[in-house]
Amino acid sequence: MHDNGVPLFDWQAGYGAFSVSKSSLNRVRQYILTQEEHHKKISFEDEFRELLRRHGIAFDERFVFG
């Protein structure tokens, strides 16, 4: 992006990717539409950690949001 003249643009250091069942699509859409309000109750970081734990995904806290 920098090579294309887009100022102040950086890629994040890491990523997380999860698939979504078609049967859960409406719930996911609703979550996306209301996530700003939702994250007033629980931080994105805490929710992401809980998602990893709930699905048995091992992680090292030093590298999650480092």
**Which residue in 17, 19, 15 sits closest to 65, CA to CA?**
15
- What ranges make up the beta strands (E) of the chain? none
| 12-59 per-position pLDDT tens digit | 666 777 788 999 999 999 988 998 898 899 998 999 999 999 999 998
Residue-level pLDDT at 11: 61
Residue-level pLDDT at 49: 92
Structure tokens at 55: 């699905």
- Asked whether the predicted pLDDT for residue 1 surpasses 50, the reply is no
Structure tokens at 32: 């996306």
Contact by Cβ (8 Å): 20, 52: no
| Number of Cβ within a 10 Å radius of residue 51 | 12
The boundaries of the domain holding residue 54 are 2-64
- At 45, the amino acid letter reads E
Number of domains the chain contains = 1
